[in-house]
Amino acid sequence: MADIGLENERLIMEKLPEYIDPVKKKQALQETEKIFRSLEDMPQRSKKWQDFLYMPLLTKPKTDYHSVVPVTIEKSNRVRPYWKSLLDQALKPLDEFELVSVADYGAVGDGKTDCTEAFKAAIGKGNRRVFVPAGVYSIRGLKLPSYTALIGSGVERTILKLADGAPKKEKLITNQNYVKGNQCLKISDLTLDWNVERLSKNENTSAGGTSSSGITLAHVQFACIQRVKIINPGLHGVDITSIRYNYFGDGRRSVLGSRFVWVDQVEASGFGDDGITTHHSDDVWISNSYLHHPSGRAHEKGYSNSNGIEVDDGSQHVVLSNNRTAYCFGGVEIKAHATSSAASDTQIVGHYSKQDNRAYNFRHIGHHRDEDRYSQSAYSIRATYLVADSPQKTELYVGSAPRALVVSAYQKVAVHHFVAIETSLEKDPIAVSVQYRANQVRLKNVQLKGYERAGNPIRIARTTENIKIE
């Protein structure tokens, strides 16, 4: 597998040369943090007795309104969130477990033999490193118990493919126990083929909820997904999530979410909804990944909100570093549905968006307009070194005009070092739109290239407050 991280770094560096310099990168992050800390905090919401009405339905009030410490830049120029050492320590025992091969349990990598039972036997009750030799292995979905490492021989050599008879709801890989939760999982060095060809050509590819994805980790603590390629998943490539999504209103989150999960060097394409997504989970790190060319088939044709990376409902303290997206509806979307809490406290360090319709889209649906309620949870975004290369119209969402950056409803947003490049034939292209009650937004070192013919490439709506763009 080619080093995705190096290619992402090269592309960002072409537009923002200082990105390659660890000293200058550190200084830029310090400036972003200075801007961010100058903005007002989100007013904390006091608990009310109504908050506890839906506890049996696996939801809880949102009580965490703080922003974690900024990421650090190592001498190697790599980003490191504060909890990385905790993850390393938690996963260390995996290196000492017994190494077994699925071939020793009867798995045959001929692409035809159903190897599900052989994989189950090799995985056992956990406390194992499970090696998958080169080959194509037909399976009907795997569930990993705690303290399990599933390791292939490389993304070009080891392929796990859903069997032709697998139902639409099947996840290729997930954790074993959603209610009790699982911990210490590692998935690396393989390709996952969701086998969308087993469905009819025009069929919706998702079965709803958390189903139909390549990898779903629900109620998992301490996990690493590294050097994995995911092909044509019905819903998401990777979903780091709680066991059930929350739709009981803004100000509430689902319980039993995931925490301390690192997704690194993942390539996903052909996804029905999003490439990598998070829901109601804390401390998630997505790095060095490439998400591109979604199918959008989880949605009605022409109305597909298919994003490369989506930090979604109720997510908290998420770090995105050195990633790339291409030909999606949204490159990076930080958001929530109207009936859930917004994702809060996201840090982005380095992202290259190529011909996504909305390169960067920060919004809380249903909390935009004058007649809507103000969002109680859409706040805290720090972003440094963003490139929006040629936003374009898309058949995924036919009514959406191209934008490099859109901020809607979010409060306390600091963006530093932002480049937007316009190459379309739009008559009056808009690069940046700050709208719909956005508040406390600062954009510094903004470069707009190719927007010279635009009458007003930066739009700030009258309903916003305290917006400053340099």
Q: Over 70: is that where the pLDDT of 198 sits?
A: yes
Return the domain boundaries, the chain: 4-469
The confidence band for 54, taking pLDDT boundaries of 50, 70 and 90, is very low
Half-sphere exposure of 96 (CA within 13 A, CB side): 6
Q: Enter the pTM of the model.
A: 0.97
pLDDT above 70 for 51: no
Predicted local confidence at residue 48, as pLDDT:
53
Residues 6+ apart with CB under 8 A from 350: 8, 9, 12, 19, 79, 321, 322, 323, 384, 385, 386
214-269 pLDDT, tens digit per residue, is 999 999 999 999 999 999 999 999 999 999 888 888 988 999 999 999 999 999 99
Both structure tokens of 91? 């996963």
Report CA-CA distances (Å) from 65 to 29, 346, 378. 22, 12, 10
Of all residues in the chain, what percent carry a pLDDT higher than 70? 96
Order across the sheet with 458-460: list the strands: 142-144, 173-175, 215-218, 238-241, 276-278, 307-311, 330-336, 358-364, 403-408, 432-435, 458-460
Please give the class, per CATH, of domain 4-469.
mainly beta
Provide the 3-class DSSP secondary structure of residue 114: strand
Mean pLDDT of the chain: 94
Q: Are 352 and 338 in contact (CB under 8 A)?
A: no
Residues 347-397 have pLDDT tens digits of: 999 999 999 999 999 999 999 887 888 899 999 999 999 999 999 999 999
pLDDT at residue number 53: 52
Calpha distance 447→460 (Å, rounded)? 17
- φ, ψ at 143 (rounded to 5°): -120, 120
pLDDT of residue 56: 47
pLDDT of residue 45: 52
Asked if pLDDT for residue 418 goes beyond 50, the answer is yes
